[in-house]
Structure 1
């Protein structure tokens, strides 16, 4: 039987290098991305990470457990599922910032025809798109259904939160598929064009659609009057 592969290290006394020793290997941050949405069973992780391979996934999960970033929901059953520890969940801001950077980069490139798209990825994408957003003083909730993934974008005062699961009393409901969402989020498809073409459907007032688009950075910012500025 082959021995356990020796874990590589940058061996640098630098915070970034030390962090990358833990999460810098291929697939590791993508596993964390999935667990930031919600706990996952092993098979769900495998399905959400096309191309990873079951042996590599098991190895990466084992490393994350040893690092104290991931915990097994049932220590005696690998299939019971995995969740982030408090330390693992602290990576949210870092992962969301990287996702925002990636969306900006993707907007300057063409989307490969073979690129995979998963509905769960849209949850973190919305969080990234609203990073640093400035709400317009209207408390309201938008519900998104991307394929079979349902989540809410909640505006309360100056705070914007993305919450998994169905919304309570949403002013606007948005339905689309993962591929369309990716095209819109990366700027390759105009959201109004997607609405007119039926690739996105909405239920709610036009004003809420406009506010939601601005919040996501998909429409021009509202022009502020001198009094409001």
Structure 2
């Protein structure tokens, strides 16, 4: 029998309250953030969610499966590992995460001594900055690592099964190199990409044969 979601509700006939019934628990939206990069194994999710206990993560994933936000499937051989991925309903949370990241960007400041940092966590705050460069794949390199996104003139963002990917892309259309301080300024609207490049805080190189990204 499928696991039934735990009974927790604001019991309010309000769309916002209903949404929070599903995604308002601690860690849930951060699981969505990780799965926006595409299917992930449990061990990979746990590694990129520092601070979550194994029991908490397992419980959240089961609740998200019951709410039909994620699915679990086995990869074909030779991998034969189970991965979690967002359902279409779960992927609809992408603009919610983008709006939340934009709202929270002014609160970032310098990383605190206790803060974990992953390069791909800057992908969602930068989606709005990179959208409009022209359709194509942009590889972003920070001191902390690399990630890549596919952008379009209409602001849409998608890459394979996710909206971005951790690590390097195969034959990206453009490469952006910068640092986390500049990422914060870009995400918070304090700096445009053009201003960052002109100030020497970022470099942007387009592949000669690319037809999309400007």
Q: TM-score, normalised by structure 2?
A: 0.70
Q: How large is the Cα RMSD of the aligned pairs?
A: 3.7
What is the CA distance between 1:45 and its match in structure 2? 0.7
What is the CA distance between 1:25 and its match in structure 2? 0.5
What is the CA distance between 1:142 and its match in structure 2? 3.6
What is the CA distance between 1:12 and its match in structure 2? 1.2
In 2, Cα distance between the equivalents of 1:128 and 1:48?
A: 23
In 2, Cα distance between the equivalents of 1:202 and 1:122?
A: 17
* Equivalence map 1:118-197=2 (5 Å): 118-129=118-129, 135=132, 142-146=138-142, 147-156=144-153, 158-159=154-155, 161=157, 163=159, 164=164, 166=169, 168=171, 170=173, 172-176=174-178, 181-182=183-184, 185-186=187-188, 191=196, 195=200
Greater relative CO (CA pairs within 8 A, separation 6+): 2
Deviations 1:123-182 (A, max 9, x none): 21212445xx6x48x6666432344433135344x4453533526562x41235667644
What is the CA distance between 1:46 and its match in structure 2? 0.6
Larger Rg: 1
| Residue in structure 2 matched with residue 114 of structure 1 by the alignment | 114
What is the CA distance between 1:60 and its match in structure 2? 0.5
What is the CA distance between 1:185 and its match in structure 2? 3.6
In 2, Cα distance between the equivalents of 1:66 and 1:20?
A: 15
* Match status 1:87 vs 2:89: yes
Q: Secondary structure at the match of 2:45?
A: helix
In 1, Cα distance between the equivalents of 2:152 and 2:5?
A: 47
In 2, Cα distance between the equivalents of 1:5 and 1:169?
A: 41
Aligned residue pairs total 191
Q: Secondary structure at the match of 1:81?
A: strand
| Residue in structure 2 matched with residue 44 of structure 1 by the alignment | 44
Unaligned runs of 5+ in 1: 206-210, 213-229
Distance 1:176 1:62, change over 3 A: same
Q: Secondary structure at the match of 1:161?
A: coil
In 2, Cα distance between the equivalents of 1:66 and 1:167?
A: 35
In 2, Cα distance between the equivalents of 1:140 and 1:34?
A: 22
* Equivalence map 1:66-105=2 (5 Å): 66-74=66-74, 80-103=82-105, 105=106
| Residue in structure 2 matched with residue 217 of structure 1 by the alignment | none
Structure 1 stretches of 4+ with a deviation exceeding 6 A read: 187-190
CA contact under 8 A between 1:23 and 1:29: conserved in structure 2? Answer: yes
In 2, Cα distance between the equivalents of 1:115 and 1:187?
A: 23
